Amino acid sequence: MFLVGLTGGIAAGKSSVAETWEQLGATVIDADDLAREVVEPGSTGLERVTEEFGSTVLAEDGTLNRKALAEVVFTDPPKRAALEALLHPLIRALALDKLEAAKTNIVVYVIPLLVETRSDLPFDYIVTVEAPEADQVMRMVESRSMSKEQALSRIQAQAKPAERAQIADRILSSNQSLKLLLKDATRLFAELEKLALAKSAKS
């Protein structure tokens, strides 16, 4: 298995890149999906979140009200840190299970908070997708119904682009059309396939 860590800023284009790589034959595991899975009704994760933040973060049907939780943690760094301390070990354990079950040569783990969580997963290659802040804000306002202030708060809660660049083997820029970004992503995937084959030949 050749494990690729795919990170980047919020609304920078990670999902589009991941979708392209999945179409090209990779297994894609998304940390955001795992984060939803570990707080499903009846889960240990949801129980811990409720104990920490109270029932106000629950919807009427007992599921997690993600919007209410976000409003609490994205304006309060200590509370955000507490949430991450609760959930990240659960997410990591689930990620390891899914990695073990993967059957393809290339597995892509989409992890927006790769820098922040100091993930110790055995990545063979790390890619970050970056966009100008103004583009990120515009995309969040248009597609996620956020205010400009909410969008900026989310961006500021993440690591800086320079921090992600420091750990990345490659930077994909989405300061261009989506078509060109995905063209770059497709070209990079061909390189990853060669690296995966080389690793496989050595083992």
pLDDT the model gives residue 75 = 81
pLDDT the model gives residue 118 = 84
pTM score over 0.85: yes
> Is the fold of 1-26+105-203 the same as that of 37-103?
yes
Percent of the chain at pLDDT > 90 equals 87
**Distance (Å, whole) CA 18 – CA 185:** 9
Question: CATH 3.40.50.300: does it fit domain 1-26+105-203?
Answer: yes
**Looking at the domain that runs over 37-103, which CATH code has it been given?**
3.40.50.300
**Distance (Å, whole) CA 156 – CA 168:** 20
User: For the chain, which ranges sit under pLDDT 50?
Assistant: none
Q: Where are the domains of the chain?
A: 1-26+105-203, 37-103
Within 8 A by CB and 6+ apart from 1, the residues are 99, 102, 104, 105, 106, 107
